[in-house]
Structure 1
Amino acid sequence: MKMKWNSERSGVYALGYVQNANTYLSDISHLIQTEVTEKALCDNLKEAYDEDRVINFYYDNYGNLQTGEFDEKRTCRYAIETGFEMPNMNPAYPPDPVYAVFIKDGYGTWSGVNFSTKYKMENMFNAYRFGSISFKNYNAANSFIISLEENLLPGEVWNFKSSVPDDFRPKTQFDILQSYLQYVFEKLVSDYTNPESKNYKKIVFSIDHKYALFNTGLLNKFAQDIYLVGEVYNRKDNKFIFSSPFIAPSKVDLMRKYQFASASLYPNVVEFFHSLDDIIYDSEIEIDISADKLTHIIEDGAKRNRFSEKYTQMYKQGELPAITSILIAAIDNARKIAKRNYKFVVPQYRSERRGEPGKIQFLMPIYLDRQYGEKPDFALVLNTEIMPDKTKIYTPETILELSWAYNNARVICKPEDTWLNPTTIDRSPMDGDESEDTL
């Protein structure tokens, strides 16, 4: 068995979605230092596919990179020979074969196309990332996160009750802490060059720019700020890879060993909102539940198994009006409870994605069967929209499983334990790989 060749397409397009359709020929031409034509590349790829000159990558249960037979579920990267070679910098060594690389996302879609040598691929895929925070491998990342958790101020749980295994790669032992660090650093990088942001230049670089330092927003056992230091790689404008992080040592060591200037230490904590009004849900504001939003929430939720078996079966049997009535009633009940407990609906931070800036949203717990003593079925995500007359209105965007909701909410602050309690939540695999590797 091997990955599917789409016979309705040709060349790289037959292997998956091509994200760099306008540049992939120039990409490989630049790499091998010779112009490559579309026909030559297409012919070579089809020949390599027919002869099974493909490397299939997957991660074992310990998070380590492996190669083997293609498996529809486990294989998450594959590389196919292009028939072209990259000149070696050392003329004593032969040129390196160049591969076309495709990556599978959480929806099962293959996309590319990146071009790389086998050595670079293996180094990249073996690395483990929390977004742009990178480690050489899974073991290094897991050891770091365990050590960091041991240094934290006691009293907070940083992992869920249990975790459903990911098809691709396991999370570290403290997956909530892993997610928290990713979002904090992502926000600092996004706002670094914006003088209007409260996070302007809250990442500090060493004098030689080999290292960077940021405030995690976490406290250690002595209630002191925890800063992380990491190596700077692939810096382009304000974006870069924060590699092999470690807890910052003393100010003396930072200056002597890592070349930080004393005047630049230490940055303040990240800020995700401008005022308290941004993160307090107002139960008096209308929720605009349109037909389009209901269609997305119910149909998409059912297809992604975000409903219980009972409501999934109702959806399959065409009982959409019944589900709609129950959902609207659950939303009305949540609003009633929120009027009496302003902490019932909690804020979350949705990170920047697909060119859309990060923003504050609200998470409303939905109890379809009104069993308020148990866990809610899911969290309804609400956006805040400002109308032309300056009034506010909430619009539902999607629904989230509780583990996703907790991770997003924890970025703002530790949620109350009323319904978002990690000791009672099973972590579900993410729809998309939040630490996706790229070449």
Structure 2
Amino acid sequence: MDELTNHDVTTVPLELFDFAFCRRLNKKAPELNKEFKEYIEDLQQLAIKENWGTPQGHQKYPVLHNYIWHTYMRIAEEYNDAVTPEERAKKIPMRDGFACFNTGLFTEEFERIFALFEQNRVPDRQPWYFLGFVPESDRQLSRFSPLPERANYFEDPGSLIFDYRLEIRPNKRHILVDNKDRLPQEYQAPDKYAWLVQHFEGAVNNAQRRLSENFKLAVPQYYRGRIQLLVPLYLTGNRQPDLALAIERDGDVYQARTCLTIDMAYNNARLIVKPQSDWLQPA
């Protein structure tokens, strides 16, 4: 089998599990077998410590799993959009039967962390075999020079900053009716809709005032190829927000078409950078 290179491979699958076989199977030594969730646990140990969410089902670190899954997807999109082999190699270089991508994470020593793959020699399977997460000093990465870039989510840094001079206009019906399951329990009763609208309008006005005092409260997220800003929304009077309002600039206003739970918002925001705002933290 010929070795895969960026000259030959012009597109890659958008799903990580279609790109690579992400388990370790060793019939001779079953104790060495490894599931992808265990690789994620290894990455958690390797990377700078942060809150990667409350365990859910078989996922011990659900936010980190989501982060890696979508980071690869964005890098694959950039790879597929690249025109030349040199541009593709900036995202997923393929050389000597190996490939890698930049996770965007760092070790405690601020070494970049990469996902490393070896070409899969098993026919009719994924083209690559996942070897694990490694720091940039790992000798296995010596064949790649330069090392690949991290995922890029925006071209205009100004899109990450809230313009306090612009009005927020929410789609109330979509947020309060279509997504009512994301609201606090006491706000989901259908006979309280008029009361809910009043409270929601007050919460949006309050959010606008908070942002005019501190625009850094708006946290950027990447969603379906676009940059949006997440705004804390306080409905119940708790010290922590109940929801995150997702707003997107449209001309000279911000349109708010949906709301997210705090966990959903953190998952989306973490793709770009670790949120520094106190209000947006995973459970």
Bin for the TM-score computed over the shorter chain: 0.7 to 0.9
Is the contact made by 1:379 and 1:399 (CA closer than 8 Å) also made in structure 2? Answer: yes
Cα 1:334–1:322, aligned 2, differ >3 Å: closer, same or farther? Answer: same
The number of residue pairs the alignment matches comes to 253
Deviation at 1:207, TM superposition (A): 3.1
Aligned twin of 2:243: 378
Cα 1:242–1:364, aligned 2, differ >3 Å: closer, same or farther? Answer: farther
Distance 1:328 1:132 in 2: 46
Name which of 399, 410, 414 aligns with 2:259.
Answer: 399
Distance 1:402 1:242 in 2: 35
Aligned twin of 1:307: 183
- Once the two structures are superposed, what CA deviation does each residue of 1:236-293 show, in whole Å capped at 9, x if it has no partner? xxxx7764241247565346xxxx4x5x43112222112321111112112233xxx2
Aligned twin of 2:154: 273
Q: Give the aligned residue type for 1:380.
A: L
Identity %: 26
Deviation at 1:368, TM superposition (A): 1.1
- Aligned residue for 2:231, secondary structure, equals strand
Aligned twin of 2:195: 322
Aligned twin of 1:224: 111
Is the contact made by 1:217 and 1:226 (CA closer than 8 Å) also made in structure 2? Answer: yes
- Once the two structures are superposed, what CA deviation does each residue of 1:310-334 show, in whole Å capped at 9, x if it has no partner? 1112x2x2x3222112111101100
Cα 1:135–1:286, aligned 2, differ >3 Å: closer, same or farther? Answer: same
- Aligned residue for 1:320, secondary structure, equals helix
Aligned twin of 1:106: none
Deviation at 1:194, TM superposition (A): 2.9
- Once the two structures are superposed, what CA deviation does each residue of 1:131-189 show, in whole Å capped at 9, x if it has no partner? 86652389511221111111113xx42322x35x55xxx32x12211111112111111
Aligned twin of 1:192: 79
Match status 1:253 vs 2:253: no
- Aligned residue for 1:192, secondary structure, equals helix
Name which of 274, 278, 281 aligns with 1:414.
Answer: 274
Distance 1:266 1:323 in 2: 52
Aligned twin of 2:47: 152
Aligned twin of 2:172: 294
Cα 1:343–1:131, aligned 2, differ >3 Å: closer, same or farther? Answer: farther
- Aligned residue for 2:188, secondary structure, equals helix
CA RMSD of aligned residues (A): 3.0
Distance 1:133 1:349 in 2: 24
Deviating 4+ runs (over 6 angstroms): 128-131
* Bigger-Rg structure (1/2): 1
Deviation at 1:362, TM superposition (A): 1.0
- Aligned residue for 2:95, secondary structure, equals coil
- Aligned residue for 2:155, secondary structure, equals coil
Distance 1:281 1:147 in 2: 36
Q: Give the aligned residue type for 1:379.
A: A
Structure 2's unaligned 5+ residue stretches are 1-14, 25-32, 121-125
Aligned twin of 2:66: 179
Aligned twin of 1:365: 232
Match status 1:214 vs 2:214: no
TM-score for both structures, normalised by structure 2: 0.78
Cα 1:282–1:232, aligned 2, differ >3 Å: closer, same or farther? Answer: farther
Is the contact made by 1:193 and 1:200 (CA closer than 8 Å) also made in structure 2? Answer: no
- Aligned residue for 1:349, secondary structure, equals strand
Cα 1:253–1:157, aligned 2, differ >3 Å: closer, same or farther? Answer: closer
Distance 1:134 1:143 in 2: 14
Aligned twin of 2:9: none
Distance 2:243 2:166 in 1: 21
Distance 1:282 1:131 in 2: 40
Distance 1:397 1:200 in 2: 35
Distance 2:147 2:275 in 1: 27
Cα 1:370–1:158, aligned 2, differ >3 Å: closer, same or farther? Answer: closer
Is the contact made by 1:132 and 1:186 (CA closer than 8 Å) also made in structure 2? Answer: no
TM-score for both structures, normalised by structure 1: 0.52
